[in-house]
Structure 1
Amino acid sequence: MPMPMPTPTTRRHLLHHATALGLGAALPLHGARAAAYPDKTVRIVIPYPAGGATDNLGRLSAQTLQAALGQSFIADNRGGGGTTIGTRALAQSAPDGYTLGMVDSSFTINPGLLGARLPYDTLKDFAPISLVATAPFVLVVHPSVPVHDLAAFLARAKAAPGSLAYGSAGVGSGPHLAGELLAQQAGIAVQHIPYKGGGTVITDLLGGQFQFAFATVPTLVEHIRAGRLRALAVTPRQRVPQLPEVPTFAEAGLPGVDTMPLFGLIAPAGVPAAIVEQLNAALRQSVRQGEMHTRLKAMGFEPVGSTPAEFGQRIGEEVAKWAAVVRKGNIQAE
């Protein structure tokens, strides 16, 4: 006579006793996932079109994780909406570790800029994995502006309020808010010229269409070295190796201008902690001392490789900082 099938309750008791005796393996768990993560392709959503710093770091992270974990990691570019389209798609993805996202400073600026119009909750709908890198900002002026240091720049701005203008990739972009932060910290009035994307901003600055700009060191270093632009200060706490002669804002007397564009890897909220830790460990090792560290340095970035908790704390701090800047500057999203 065949033995009756155990009920779910009976099965739980059997499993409990078998585990207590060290015999858990003797009872197969039908439906449980036996394969180790990852066992299929992982997508990294990049909320920009191909090209640019965030896309480059997303693809570099994909290559690093693929080498470390032995599975395909691919870039999935979803630009538009000031990065909200791709980021919303990430928030709505299954929290299984097979859809990740590479974000930058727009991720922490958008909550203060868009408020209730933001289609996700930046602090609740995502699981931080690692702050991969930061990129120093540098304040540059066109050579036609007769200033050679930050003090002279500020004196000129105060003597003729509104006479100096700067361009950025758009309202609420990192360079825009860096300029706004400078204005607030120094008590100066400057004009902001928003562009529809960053492609022509530097071209127009080189052509003298406006007087100054903020951009990352990797973007501007060759123009500075060639004398096409003049660097006045950099945003990190320490001078950057690519421009050792350029003082920091703190050295120049404005420590509050401390903006550093960030680039990090996140996942939808609810991803198992074990997967987050696995991804973090693989990425952090390479960022801190492996091949990715070398490549990031060569590209002009500052490698970080944080823990998930450290990245989460940094996100919260940045959201609060930029919300205050947006509020004080009465900045309205386009």
Structure 2
Amino acid sequence: IGTEIIARAKPDGYTIGMGNFAPLAVNHALFKKLNFDPFTDIVPIALIERGPLVLMVRDDSPYKSVKDIVAAAKAAPGKLSYASGGIGGTHHLSGALFEHSAGVDMIHAPYKSGAAGATDLMSGQVHMMFEQMYSAMPAIKGGRLRALAITSKTRSPLLPELPTMAEQGYPAVEVLNWQGIVGPKGLSSEIVRQLNAACNKALQDADVREKITSQGNEVAGGSPEQFAALIKAEAPRWAKVVRDAKIEPE
């Protein structure tokens, strides 16, 4: 809804907002009809941050690595389950991408929220879950859940011992829930340039950077063109994941 409001706003530079990878690069594949076109009605201004997910299991789970999960899933197709915060969300698509990349068949267990899924993971109702790192950290640090991998290209300073999915043989399972500042179509190039410069300046502030990185996210920044290129590259990638997962558009 927020991104739609931005898309319908007057292009004077006074109404901008934060758009993330779901409305900008995924929803076009999940819904038959959107109230705005994310590729023509939105102007990318500046990418702000990227947030990885972690693949986690119960602390007492017999699975100690991604390799263990894949071996178990291949030995018993359709038996292992992964939780998500709902059909088509980041957790679900990460799990679906993992399934397809590993060539395994697992059960998707959608919940009303990521927190509800994590709760059932801790109680042993499901076997695993991909969760945003900032949401997963308390349970991981508290010893209730064990992280097996992170979906970023490189390891996180917050969990330097945690290997990436690529290190464990699945480079395609690189998932970053990115978000950035966007505006409505019709914004002048001068306004976009000024707003982009302000965003990049803010991202150099030590307090801003600490706030982002303390949650396990990566500071981004860059030009409007780089942000637009990211959206252009991500959209077909996630459309394929949706098709491979046989998710029917609503």
Question: In structure 2, do the counterparts of structure 1 residues 87 and 192 end up closer, same or farther at CA, with 3 Å as the change threshold?
Answer: same
Measured in 1, the distance between the counterparts of 2:101 and 2:128 equals 17
**Aligned counterpart for 2:63 among listed residues 147, 152, 161:** 147
1:77-156 alignment, distance < 5 Å: 85-107=1-23, 108-114=25-31, 116-156=32-72
Measured in 2, the distance between the counterparts of 1:133 and 1:313 equals 15
Instruction: Structure 1: state its 5+ residue gaps.
Output: 1-84
Q: Which residue of 2 aligns with 1:26?
A: none
Is 1:297 aligned to residue 236 of structure 2? Answer: no
Alpha carbons 1:221, 1:242 under 8 Å: kept: no
TM-score, structure 1 normalization: 0.72
Alpha carbons 1:285, 1:305 under 8 Å: kept: no
Cα drift, residue 289 of structure 1: 4.8
Deviation above 2 Å: which 4+ runs of structure 1? 196-199, 288-291
**Number of residue-to-residue matches in the alignment:** 249
The residue matched to 1:213 in structure 2 has which SS?
strand
Higher relative contact order (CA 8 A, sep 6+): 2
Measured in 1, the distance between the counterparts of 2:60 and 2:79 equals 14
The residue matched to 2:130 in structure 1 has which SS?
strand
Is 1:330 aligned to residue 246 of structure 2? Answer: yes
Instruction: Structure 2: state its 5+ residue gaps.
Output: none
Deviates more, 1:257-266 or 1:284-293: 284-293
Q: Which residue of 1 aligns with 2:99?
A: 183
Q: RMSD of the alignment, in Å?
A: 1.4
What percentage of residue pairs aligned between the two structures are identical? 39
Measured in 2, the distance between the counterparts of 1:204 and 1:229 equals 11
Measured in 1, the distance between the counterparts of 2:141 and 2:115 equals 21
**Aligned counterpart for 2:178 among listed residues 258, 262, 271:** 262
TM-score, structure 2 normalization: 0.95
1:1-334 alignment, distance < 5 Å: 85-107=1-23, 108-114=25-31, 116-333=32-249
The residue matched to 1:200 in structure 2 has which SS?
helix
Cα drift, residue 144 of structure 1: 4.2
Measured in 2, the distance between the counterparts of 1:307 and 1:100 equals 16
Q: Deviations over 1:84-127 (max 9, x none)?
A: x222222111111111121222121101111x412211111111
Letter in 1 for 2:47: L
Q: Who wins on radius of gyration, i.e. which is larger?
A: 1
Alpha carbons 2:11, 2:187 under 8 Å: kept: yes
Q: Deviations over 1:38-96 (max 9, x none)?
A: xxxxxxxxxxxxxxxxxxxxxxxxxxxxxxxxxxxxxxxxxxxxxxx222222111111
Letter in 2 for 1:104: N
Measured in 2, the distance between the counterparts of 1:249 and 1:301 equals 17
The residue matched to 2:16 in structure 1 has which SS?
strand
